[in-house]
């Protein structure tokens, strides 16, 4: 994986569906904007690429695809995401916050029976985030949160599947640097404070928040 040497900083949020990563990504964006930084918030899979649109059809279970082929689509979408959105913003010195990145491929793909080492190799030429936050929320709690949305569940939004996904997520800090598992069953504010503290320590060198 390629370390970020560009002027901007790249931060990824990860977790099971329903873990609250989208909420925390938005809170961090707001925090950084208040500090005077330029921020781009983005999400995978994207809606802009052909691969991203195919992925959405598969996740919504409107079409089917072999798990390895699905991960190739994620890699194609990610390649375009980096080229068109992430890298240009980093070159301009902006913060880029991505709601999901290649960790989702590793963990959701592995839960679908795809070899984890193959998945990592498939993403080996992509940019490594400066920091990655994985929100730890029990699969049962995630399913309860998803049910409260009142929308149809997607391909991976079942407790048995999410349990397998978490088994892959929990070993990510052992495999990739600057990955932090954050206890996600606390208040939104407490989670945000911990994330800000890590940002201050790792990026701003303990500058006041």
CB 19 within 8 A of CB 38: no
Can you tell me which residue has the tokens 């349990």? 163
pTM of the predicted model as reported, rounded to 2 decimal places = 0.91
Q: What is the pLDDT of residues 18-75, one digit of tens each?
A: 999 999 999 999 999 999 999 999 999 999 899 999 999 998 888 999 999 999 999 9
**Domain of 46?**
2-202
Beta strands in 147-195 (DSSP E): 179-183
CA pair distance 179, 198, nearest whole angstrom? 11
CB 46 within 8 A of CB 81: yes
Count: domains in the chain? 1
Residue 101 placed within a domain: yes
Residue 141 placed within a domain: yes
Can you tell me which residue has the tokens 């931060």? 11
Residue 209 placed within a domain: no
Indicate which CATH number applies to the domain containing 181. 3.40.50.300
**Computed over its alpha carbons, how large is the radius of gyration of the chain?**
16
Residue 116 placed within a domain: yes
Residue 207 placed within a domain: no
Residue 161 placed within a domain: yes
Q: What percent of the chain has pLDDT over 70?
A: 95
């Amino acid at each position: 994986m390629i370390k970020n040497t560009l002027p901007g900083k790249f931060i990824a949020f990860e977790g099971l569906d329903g873990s609250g990563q989208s909420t925390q990504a938005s809170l961090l964006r707001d925090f950084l904007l208040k500090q005077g930084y330029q921020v781009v918030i983005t999400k995978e899979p994207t809606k802009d690429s052909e691969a991203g649109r195919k992925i959405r059809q598969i996740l919504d279970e409107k079409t089917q695809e072999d798990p390895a082929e699905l991960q190739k689509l994620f890699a194609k979408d990610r390649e375009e995401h980096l080229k068109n959105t992430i890298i240009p913003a980093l070159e301009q010195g902006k913060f880029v916050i991505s709601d999901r990145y290649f960790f989702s491929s590793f963990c959701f793909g592995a839960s679908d029976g795809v070899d984890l080492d193959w998945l990592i190799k498939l993403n080996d030429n992509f940019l490594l985030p400066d920091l990655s936050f994985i929100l730890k929320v029990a699969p049962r709690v995630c399913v309860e949160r998803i049910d409260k949305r009142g929308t149809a569940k997607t391909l991976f939004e079942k407790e048995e599947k999410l349990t397998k996904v978490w088994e892959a997520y929990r070993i990510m800090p052992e495999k990739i640097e600057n990955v932090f598992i954050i206890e996600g069953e606390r208040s939104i504010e407490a989670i945000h404070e911990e994330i800000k503290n890590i940002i201050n320590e790792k990026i701003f060198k303990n500058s006041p928040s």
